[in-house]
Amino acid sequence: MIPPVVRVERLAVTPSGATAGERAIPEETPVAIVHNGSTYAVMMATPADLEDFGYGFSLTEGVIGALSDVEQIETLEFDEESGAVGVEIRLWLTDERAGAQVARRRQIAGPTGCGLCGVESLELAVKPAKSVPAGRRFTAAEISRAVASLPPAQRLNHETRAVHAAAFWDPAAGPDGELVALREDVGRHNALDKLVGHLVRSGRDASQGIVLLTSRVSIEMVQKTAMLGAGVLVAVSAPTALAVRTADKAGLTLAAIARDDGFEVFTHPHRIELGGAEQELVAHVG
């Protein structure tokens, strides 16, 4: 497969002079999602964990409702000699699901991680997120531990400083909880889709853990998290106003601007145990 990281020659210029050397940078390549022979989407993505990407993207887009809707999956790499450079993720759907898909087929060709290119109406762009289950509650200390576990696990970003990550933290995975899955990509939507695909394939109950993002929270990130069935989404960066409104309607607990010294809760704080401040927060946030 195409390597996800490439080392290139570069010249570093500082006030003290210029120095030749190498820099690790992330690869990005066209990745086509193909359902029963028809291309549904073409995304620019990091060529890693592509089967997870195929399942996760198909699930969060609503093309499939469960793993059982996919009879077979394969990835094919194309080079310049074949006339097309990139990767196809081919999913063969059940007859019932394939028939439903024909009625809603659309093609997307967009920039890195674009989740809305090709959408034909404003209604589709801002469709309500799926309502999330009640799930479990988390302490502020657990959320802080989850956020702190992100940087050491971002292997591609350590090399490149140029990719996003989406991860899942499970409080029951160890004495102090544990980051059980992390996926990286040049596209933030792609990273989350890869994570969704992995979690669904591994049979993990997303309502019992925390989805973590290193990127800002837009409406699509809320929609994808809700489709997974997670009740808590925590991001290092800030959310958009539309993302907050969407999370609120979906019943999703959204915390963001998570740093070493704390985080901010924007919706449904009832899933976070905050001691004496909890009731006041619920009164303000709802």
Angle between helices 50-60 and 219-228 (to 10 degrees): 100
Residue that wins the pLDDT comparison between 122 and 214:
214
Give me the domain span that covers residue 221: 138-285
Within a domain: 222: yes
- Is 0.75 topped by the overall pTM? yes
Flag the least confident range among 8-17, 70-79, 104-113.
104-113
Same domain, 120 and 145: no
Same domain, 156 and 46: no
Within a domain: 72: yes
Give me the number of domains the chain comprises.
Answer: 2
Give the pLDDT of residue 4: 92
Give CA–CA dist 167/213, Å, rounded: 7
Assign 74 a pLDDT band (cuts: 50, 70, 90).
very high
Q: Please report, for the domain that includes residue 249, its CATH number.
A: 3.40.140.10
Within a domain: 21: no
- Of the residues 114, 117, 162, 257, only one is catalytic, namely 114
Mind listing the pLDDT tens digit for each residue in 143-162?
999 999 999 999 999 999 99
Q: Please report, for the domain that includes residue 105, its CATH number.
A: 3.10.20.10
Q: Is residue 114 flagged as an active site residue? A: yes
Same domain, 183 and 276: yes
